[in-house]
Structure 1
Amino acid sequence: MTDDLLGRHRSVLPDWLALYYEEPIEITHGEGRHVWDSDGNRYLDFFGGILTTMTAHALPEVTKAVAEQAGRIVHSSTLYLNRQMVELAERIAQLSGIPDARVFFTTSGTEANDAALLLATTYRRSNTVLAMRNSYHGRSFSAVGITGNRGWSPTSMSPLQTLYVHGGVRSRGPFAELDDYDFVAACVDDLKDLLGHTRPPAALIAEPIQGVGGFTSPPDGLYAAFREVLDKHGILWISDEVQTGWGRTGEHFWGWQAHGRNGPPDMLTFAKGIGNGMSIGGVVARAEIMNCLDANSISTFGGTQITMAAGLANLTYHLEHDLQGNARRVGGLLIERLRAAAAHVPAVREVRGRGLMIGIELTRPGTDRADPQAASAVLEAARAGGLLIGKGGGHDTSCLRVAPPLSLNVAEAEEGAAILEEALRSLL
């Protein structure tokens, strides 16, 4: 059945639509932190549909909310009042930390970033955008144009002029050998120099932790230091929270809070985990920015009743069960366990991350050269052992990405770490 489905996939879908594994699998159902494939194999899921299954598979509270809403009405568009959309927007606005916040719902993180760029460029009357090297912001034409990761940039054509800034990757690049204080200072000096050579940009868009880029991040406080420079020029700060939002890092509810000494960003974008697999994205912005558009607009599927019902149920469960605290506690144990395992594997350059957002970068032993073949080999070995993980990185996809649902328990963390340790040892 899987072979037939693979052939059908290849005959009707694009060649560039990537599939994991030499023998791709069809996931048929899940429960908690586990999924099953069409051959009946059971896996511990440490990737959660690319960080979308934030809470758990088949979470009863969410499935009940979806079923009940589907029995009433699935969709009506934003042309009509929508109680579920208003209620979720109220909660997200309050949680965002942005004063006088307005929320616009989309169907994905890509669309959320696209909307944020529309708002920023309109508000600032500029089509120049600052972005980080090694960044990823989505697959739309505008989002590709601000993505600083060659592996995810299929074209150099863009409606925007994008200028790339240093700082998203701590352990590589021209400032890697500096201590944290001097690293931040060097990146700020680079930003100041860049701004002296260009017309004022609309905004800086940045992921607090770069997701597709391999879970890399700068020292805490970098974006706060950037903010001091940006504010002098009236440049907006957009925090891309598509992967870091909703407490995944454990230490904070939003990634920007590690850089928040000067307050919240002007805008933040979100998606992924809030829907626990349902298609929800969005932008939060100060009212004056959100309301700057002078033409009509709607969102046909953004904020539709069934996804909003799922988001409300999922967010309620998340907060009532302190999943951010669980990510901090269990994620701390998991990362230390993985660091101990990786210490005996020369191919592991670095184990990094926060909470349940962990990256394991692989290189050719004794060098800094990326080793995507090793990453693929470990991905395969982990699957054979009953564990699903992801890949990423700005250097030829040589970083393993570990991001389980936030309800992961200690026993499951230990089980997954043991499987991953064995998979890493297969490189020896």
Structure 2
Amino acid sequence: MTGLHERHLAVSPEWLALYYRQPLELTHGEGRHVWDADGNRYLDFFGGILTTMTAHALPEVTKAVTEQAGRLIHSSTLYLNRPMVELAERIAALSGIPDARVFFTTSGTEANDAALLLATAHRGSNQILAMRNSYHGRSFSAVSITGNKGWSPTTLSPLQTLYVHGGVRSRGPYAELSDERFIKACVADLEDLLGHTREPAALIAEPVQGVGGFTAPPDGLYAAFREVLDRHGILWISDEVQTGWGRTGDHFWGWQAHAENGPPDIITFAKGIGNGMSIGGVVARADVMNCLDANSISTFGGSPVTMAAGLANLSYLLEHDLQGNARRVGGLLIERLRAVGAASEAVKEVRGRGLMIGIELVKPGTDEANPEAAAAVLEAARAGGLLIGKGGGHNTSVLRIAPPLSLTVAEAEEGAAILADALHAAI
């Protein structure tokens, strides 16, 4: 155990998890690589939990942060803030929501908390529909709508949460159905649920479940849900904390795979927009955003420095078509990983789109989750020079792969080869 690890354990909560038997101290990064305190270099396929979206030490972002810090670091929302207004204008236009309003926070958890406040106040209801296997953050309200017991430490809640089928395609009572019948069954479940409860405020859903193991329903499920929600006046909150900004390749937002009935009423975002700076936020229709009848401010949301980073990062992403790169290079990577998975009885499924890919591991010859194998592959990949993540609602048995969106073809090939060796060595 290193001295820093011992010091960490002495001052940190026991529930503050660390990866690896011998935890890493990362000291610097560049592009798609990071280095640890011992000088080891790693190809980064997790990006600080999908947060280093464009690249480590991206010069455009570093320059914007440095220049803004040299002028003014902090002001709060009590004063006009040019970088905040400029980033809000761009996000409102990109959101697809007509007459959109944007409120900035410092994290995805806080963004989802704000969205729940808006929805419950607008509807006058504390009932929330959420998806099974979901994750929305670690605040008191967010854990109360998280449908994954591994990340929800209490049953106490300010909200009454009702869980809906549909977020996991390959497990559960509808797994054997065709996509069309799967959607119909999930819609029928939603209809039945609404027949036995008072009017909920909103449905909150991740288009691709992040912590849940990069699971997703068939395209169109949330559009079908939206038809039901609209009949009841229930709002739709799309949690885009992990799926936003083109990560899925096919779409800029995850909700666009379910776009037949237009954009959600509320979108939450965070992680990648700041490329590591602490930015979260909510986009909503003006009538929803303006429904609060009490004063509010944010001390740190919309910080001039983080907003400058977000503007530079978003500009780089759009100007270099990183969404297109995620689609092209992500398509190649998932093809390679499916070939790797086909050679192993321990791989149940390789799934995903763009640069958001999950490898679900099971005990060979069964459908039983295999968290021990996932932990072993994580260690073996690190030994081979690759950092990946873990997740899944079934005892963290899914390997999560989400590199920066500037990943090159050569780096994708290298990472797939390391993963192939890690799976062979660990299982």
TM surpasses 0.5: yes
> What's the offset of the Cα at 1:342?
1.1
- The SS at the match of 2:86 is helix
The superposition leaves residues 114-155 of structure 1 with CA deviations (integer Å, 9 ceiling, x where unpaired) of 000000000000000000000000000000000000100100
Q: 1:307: which partner in 2?
A: 306
> What's the offset of the Cα at 1:427?
3.6
Aligned partners of 1:184 and 1:120: how far apart in 2? 25
Question: Given the alignment of the two structures, is residue 352 of structure 1 paired with residue 342 of structure 2, yes or no?
Answer: no
Q: 2:420: which partner in 1?
A: 421
The superposition leaves residues 157-210 of structure 1 with CA deviations (integer Å, 9 ceiling, x where unpaired) of 000000000000000000000000000000000000000000000000000000
Q: 1:59: which partner in 2?
A: 58
- The SS at the match of 2:19 is coil
Q: 1:246: which partner in 2?
A: 245
What pairs up with 1:96-175 in 2 under 5 angstroms? 96-175=95-174
Question: Given the alignment of the two structures, is residue 321 of structure 1 paired with residue 320 of structure 2, yes or no?
Answer: yes
Structure 2: gaps spanning 5 or more residues: none
Q: Which amino acid aligns with 1:350?
A: E
Equivalenced residues, count:
427
Q: 2:208: which partner in 1?
A: 209
CA contact (8 A) 1:347 1:427 kept: no
The superposition leaves residues 65-113 of structure 1 with CA deviations (integer Å, 9 ceiling, x where unpaired) of 0000000000100000000000000000000000000000000000000
> What's the offset of the Cα at 1:366?
1.1
Aligned partners of 1:390 and 1:378: how far apart in 2? 10
The superposition leaves residues 200-255 of structure 1 with CA deviations (integer Å, 9 ceiling, x where unpaired) of 00000000000000000000000000000000000000000000000000000000
- The range that moved more, 364-373 or 269-278, is 364-373
CA contact (8 A) 1:371 1:396 kept: yes
- What is the TM-score of this pair, normalised by structure 1? 0.99
CA contact (8 A) 1:352 1:359 kept: yes
Q: 1:28: which partner in 2?
A: 27
Question: Given the alignment of the two structures, is residue 292 of structure 1 paired with residue 291 of structure 2, yes or no?
Answer: yes
Runs ≥4 in structure 1, deviation > 2 angstroms? none
Aligned partners of 1:232 and 1:409: how far apart in 2? 46
Q: 1:43: which partner in 2?
A: 42
Aligned partners of 1:285 and 1:84: how far apart in 2? 20
Aligned partners of 2:371 and 2:340: how far apart in 1? 20
Aligned partners of 1:368 and 1:68: how far apart in 2? 53
What pairs up with 1:184-199 in 2 under 5 angstroms? 184-199=183-198
Percent of matched pairs sharing the same residue: 83
Q: Which amino acid aligns with 2:327?
A: R
What pairs up with 1:359-370 in 2 under 5 angstroms? 359-370=358-369
Q: 2:392: which partner in 1?
A: 393
Q: 2:88: which partner in 1?
A: 89
Aligned partners of 2:105 and 2:365: how far apart in 1? 45
- The SS at the match of 1:349 is strand
Q: 2:371: which partner in 1?
A: 372
Q: 2:406: which partner in 1?
A: 407
Q: Which amino acid aligns with 1:72?
A: R
Q: 1:235: which partner in 2?
A: 234
CA contact (8 A) 1:327 1:356 kept: yes
CA contact (8 A) 1:250 1:354 kept: yes
CA contact (8 A) 2:380 2:426 kept: no
Aligned partners of 1:128 and 1:322: how far apart in 2? 40
Aligned partners of 1:79 and 1:347: how far apart in 2? 55
- The SS at the match of 2:116 is helix
Q: 2:381: which partner in 1?
A: 382
